[in-house]
Structure formats: structure tokens, C-alpha cells
Chains A and B, each alone.
Chain A
């Protein structure tokens, strides 16, 4: 997966990061988009986003990744943030069982607000702290399998699997979109889920695919 230039892309995929406060969502995002990690990143308030353009085969895909505050009560204001998302990384801290125990609740929230076709990966973060592990890999893997989710363990700190996690999600979305496009040649309607009103690209944006934001 190579880097394309920022301005030149064929697709925009909106991907959301969700999970409890303190699991490392912001660091996963900064590792992927800027190759940075901070021990002392500030708590996220509201919603932030970052982008990175990557090449999938011959297509340039702009990943637009939205990061949100994990605190439960913030869901009162962040549910709008799922709108138009085609991918999600549901993150837990594998050294803190409580953050895994509530994964099902996050999944429900996601499916309540996003399209049913959204690509979801369960991500156990902080794999560098293996001596403090509280969630066995197999347990999380089984849960993911039973719920039709992709699964990986990552470390935003030492970079393990971060690239792979985002890449896998983006490829999966890309495969779905490509399939949709094939079909749309017949049906003349491109959707993955449905494009949201008001989320069409503006006049300055490329519009190779209407799932762009």
C-alpha cells in the first residue's frame, strides 16, 4: 500500500474509530496518518478527523478517519458522526478487560446509526504491553468471528499491525465498492448502503464515487 498524493484520488472512504476512553484511538489515528505516537496525548473532546491517501492497486483511496471521544456521555453529541461511514475500527485495550466487555454495546450503537453494510474490524490495541494482558487473543478472535467482524491486535506505540489494520479495512471496503460498481453498470445506481443527502462532494471535490463525503 503506497502513499498517493493528497490531492489526487479516486475514492473517499469515511472510517470511524470507536471504543472506550483511553484505549488508544487517537494514537492509532496519528500512527496511521502521520506516523506519530504520543504517550501524553490529550483526551479527545467531541470529534476530530485526519486523512491519508493510499494506493489500492491502481486506485488512489483517500481514507478520511474520524476519531471521537470515548466517554459514554459524549455519544449524546457524536452519533451524527457515524453518518456516511463505510468502515469502522472498534478498538479495545487488551490490558483492560472492561474496555472489551463493552464491545457489544459499541457494536449495537454502530449498527443503530451506520449502514448495515459497514465494514467493521475489532482491534485489540496495546499489544506491546503483553505482560499486562487481560483479554486473551482467542477470546476476542472468536467474538469477532461470531459477529462477522475482522480482527487484529495492534500496538500504536511500536506500530505493530497498525498499517495492516487500516489497510485490511480499506481493501475490504474497496472490494465491496468495486462489486457495487460492477452491479451498477447493470442497475445504474452506485451505493454502498446509500449515499446521504448533504454529503455529496462539493464542486471542488473529485467525485469518482458517491460514497465520498
Chain B
């Protein structure tokens, strides 16, 4: 019976990713059959909401976004909520001028290393090797699109240039928008406005946010905070990927997209909500760690399984489990953590 059951879940997901060898078909099917009902309900609601043409900014929208933006509206809603659409409208032709601008070999080399490291072995793909749309054999191959978006961004924001991690984010944006220029403006919304200084050479914003997470864990989950201190483990070892890739390749695709729905609407504090929820949910498990490699391993394991796959329930949990978390609290913690880091030199 097993092979027949397996074949019911397609080997390639709707975004072009091959399902991993160890993909739990049975658990996924069980989840998806109920999620499909949710998706349908949300799709009807969203269609009604968007009938007027524009995406309103209201309490209703916030509630709607938290319950998930349907795939068919996702690009448009992200563009509207993040301000990317406004930027694009105000700067017609800007994206294409960036691509035609003066060449920067260092930037080009850095991007190539992150996207396709060896030009002579063109099938190499360092961003999404498991996505059929990024394969050289697929036409159109999204590697060139990805390269263009990152190159334009490096020209646009020279203080940041290119940083590994941005390739994964731009890759997802391309998969959702199917549009190079929109992906560029969404990347700009994230890197330039929503996230505080994660990718600049000093990575101060990233270091700050890792410290902020540490403070929040100390306050909300003191046992885990104490363990971290006892083991002498730095947060950067455990969570840099969470922050830098905004959970791409950390959590299941659908879950990441649901998180990004809220990220574009509510800002970077969403990242802390996700991190705190993951840690809180698996607190007992984490507390069993006896060494640094042990805790590293546990932090990998807590990003797998049904808890994170069931994205609808997971998204409800991120707004209830960690308790209150205002942008003002985050801003205050960022200020003190940043000052502390700067004082350390």
C-alpha cells in the first residue's frame, strides 16, 4: 500500500521545490486536507476585500494578513503593505537603469560565488539546488533573474552591496512575484526599511537583534537563558540563519511565506515572535542539552516536524505564546543592546 499512498503528494511542491527524501507524506496530507479548507475560506474573504482594487490598511487587513494571504494575491499584497509598490511607481525605469550602470567586478564576483560559483560549470546552483525553476535545464531559468535582482540591489545600496543570505530572500521573492522588478523593490523594502542593518559589513543590526533575542529569552524563558549562560554559547551560533535568511531553509516553505505576510505588514518584531515560539514550545527538550554541539543540534531539530509544518496553527501560536511584544519594547532593547555592543568595540 505504501507506494500508492506516497504518490498522492506530488514530489515537487507548488513553488518548484523537490520534497526531501524524508518528507512525511502521511502527516502532510493529514495537515493539508484541513488547511485546504482554511485556504479556500481565506481566498473568498480576500477576493471580497480586494474588490475595490487597492489594498486598504486597516485592522481588518492586519487580522486577514495574520490568517494568511492567498498565493494568488500575495505579490500584490506584499507590494502594497511594504511600500514597495509606491517606491516602484515613484521611480519608473530606475531598476533597469541600475542594471545598465557602471560595472563593479567585485560585486559581480561576490554574487556569482553565492549564486553560481564557477561560471564554467554552469549547472552549479548555490541558492536553491532543490528547486526545479532554478535549474539551468529549465527555461526560463531563474538563476539569471536572481543574479539581476542582486546585482541591481548591490548598485542601489552600495553600503550593503551583496551579502550571502540575501540570495535566499531574493529567491523567494522571485518565486512569489514572478517579476524581477517587483522582487527588487520588495528586497529593498526588507533590507532597506523593515530589517535593521542585518547585511552591512559590520552586521551590527544582526548582532544587536541576536542580543535582543537573548534578553527576551532571559525575561520570558529564564531557564533557557540560564542554560545558555552555563554552556557559554553565543546566540549567533544558534540563530544567525534564522535572522539572515528570515527562516528560508529553516522552516517549511509555506510557514516561511505566512511569516513573511506578517513581516511585510507588521515589521521585524515578527522574527522575535517566531524565535520565541520555537524556543518556548521546545523548552524542555532544549534544557536537556549538555554541551554546545548538543544545543546547536537541538536548535536545528526544533525547526522540523509537525509543529512548524502546520503553519496555520503555528501562526496563531506566535501571537499568543510569547506574550506581549510591542515594537516599543523591541526598540528599547535594540537601543540598549546596540550601545553595549558598540562599547565592547
Contact = CB atoms under 8 A, between A and B. Distances in A.
B293 A51 contact: yes
A77 B293 contact: no
B164 interface: yes
A44 B123 CA distance: 19
B232 A198 contact: yes
A51 B296 CA distance: 13
B70 interface: no
A46 B239 CA distance: 9
Interface of B: 110, 113-114, 117-118, 120-121, 123-129, 163-165, 167-168, 199-204, 206-207, 210, 230-234, 236-237, 240-241, 244-245, 249, 289-294, 296
B240 A197 contact: no
Interface of A: 21-22, 38-47, 49, 51, 64, 69, 71-74, 76-78, 80-81, 132, 196-199, 201-205, 213
B240 A47 contact: yes
B290 A202 contact: yes
B234 A80 contact: yes
B195 to A, nearest CB: 15
A21 B296 CA distance: 23
A71 B163 contact: yes
A73 B240 CA distance: 13
Contacts of B237: 46-47, 80-81
Given A21-B114, A71-B163, A204-B290, A45 B241 contact: yes
A70 B204 CA distance: 18
Given A45-B164, A76-B207, A202 B129 contact: no
10 contacts: A21-B110, A42-B127, A42-B249, A43-B167, A46-B241, A71-B163, A73-B199, A77-B206, A199-B232, A202-B290
A69 B129 CA distance: 18
B150 to A, nearest CB: 12
A211 to B, nearest CB: 13
B201 A76 contact: yes
Main secondary structure of the interface of B (DSSP, over half): loop
A125 to B, nearest CB: 12
B240 A46 contact: yes
Contact of B163 (A40, A47, A73): A73
Given A49-B296, A80-B237, A39 B123 contact: yes
Most buried by B among A40, A78, A132, A202: A40
A77 B163 CA distance: 13
Given A41-B126, A73-B201, A77-B207, A198 B231 contact: yes
Contact of B293 (A69, A73, A213): A213
A8 B73 CA distance: 55
Nearest to B292: A213
A40 B124 contact: yes
A38 B123 CA distance: 12
B201 A43 contact: no
Contacts of B200: 73
A8 B293 CA distance: 16
A196 B234 CA distance: 14
Contacts of B124: 39-40
Contacts of A43: 113-114, 126-127, 164, 167
A80 B236 contact: yes
A40 B164 contact: no
B165 A45 contact: yes
B283 to A, nearest CB: 18
